Amino acid sequence: MSFEGFKHNKQPERLQAQAEVFADKGVKKFSEDQAQILKYSVELSKITDLQNLPADLPEDLVAIIESNKDAYVRFLRQERNLETSFIEENIKNYRENFQPAIKALKAKMSQGNFKELPEYLGSGSNGSAFRIAVDGKEYAAKFSQSITQANFEIKPLLRAKSIPHTSQFVAYSFEDGVVIMELLEGTEVTNFSPEDAPEYTDEDIVQLIDTVRELDAKGLVIDPKPSNFMYDPKEGFSVLDYHLKQEGSSYGLPQEIMDLKLCLTARKWKLLDRHAPDYEEQIDSLSIEQNKVFLPMMARFLGILKEKYPDILSSWQKQHEENKRNPRMRVSELIDRRYMPNDPEIDEYLKKLEDMGF
Asked if the structure places residue 7 within a domain, the reply is: no
CA-to-CA separations, 116 to 73, 105, 106, 112, in angstroms, rounded:
46, 13, 14, 8
Asked if the structure places residue 3 within a domain, the reply is: no
- 150 and 267, same structural domain? no
Helical segments of 27-176, H only? 32-39, 41-44, 59-76, 85-93, 99-109, 147-159
Among 81, 105, 139, residue at a domain's last position:
81
- Give the confidence band of 1 by pLDDT, cuts at 50, 70, 90: very low
Q: Output the pTM of the full model.
A: 0.86
Asked if the structure places residue 108 within a domain, the reply is: yes
Asked if the structure places residue 23 within a domain, the reply is: yes
- 176 and 212, same structural domain? no
Average pLDDT of every residue of the chain:
90
Whether 59 has a pLDDT exceeding 50, the answer reads yes
Among 143, 161, 182, residue at a domain's last position:
182
Q: What is the mean pLDDT of residues 183-211?
A: 96
- State the pLDDT at residue 266: 97
Asked if the structure places residue 2 within a domain, the reply is: no
33-42, 50-59, 274-283: least confident range? 50-59
- 336 and 231, same structural domain? yes
- 217 and 145, same structural domain? no
Asked if the structure places residue 175 within a domain, the reply is: yes
- 276 and 344, same structural domain? yes
Number of domains in the chain: 3
- 336 and 193, same structural domain? yes
- 255 and 151, same structural domain? no
Asked if the structure places residue 1 within a domain, the reply is: no
Q: Encode burial over 42-61: b for 16+ CB neighbours within 10 A, e otherwise.
A: bbbbebeebeeeeeebeeeb
- pLDDT digit string (tens) for 177-192? 999 999 999 999 999 9
Task: Give the residue numbers spanning the domain of 42.
Answer: 12-81
- 164 and 247, same structural domain? no
Q: Taking the alpha carbons of 315, 318, 322, 323 in that order, is the dihedral positive or negative?
A: positive
Among 39, 61, 81, residue at a domain's last position:
81
- State the pLDDT at residue 7: 45
Query: What is the β-pairing status of strands 178-182 and 169-173?
Result: antiparallel
Q: Report the CATH number at residue 111.
A: 3.30.200.20
- 272 and 230, same structural domain? yes
d(CA 221, CA 191): 24
d(CA 140, CA 130): 6
- pLDDT digit string (tens) for 234-288? 999 999 999 999 888 889 999 999 999 999 999 999 999 899 999 999 999 999 9
Residue type, 199: E
Whether 140 has a pLDDT exceeding 60, the answer reads yes
- 65 and 118, same structural domain? no
Q: What is the mean pLDDT of residues 48-52?
A: 78
- Local structure of 51: helix, strand or coil: coil
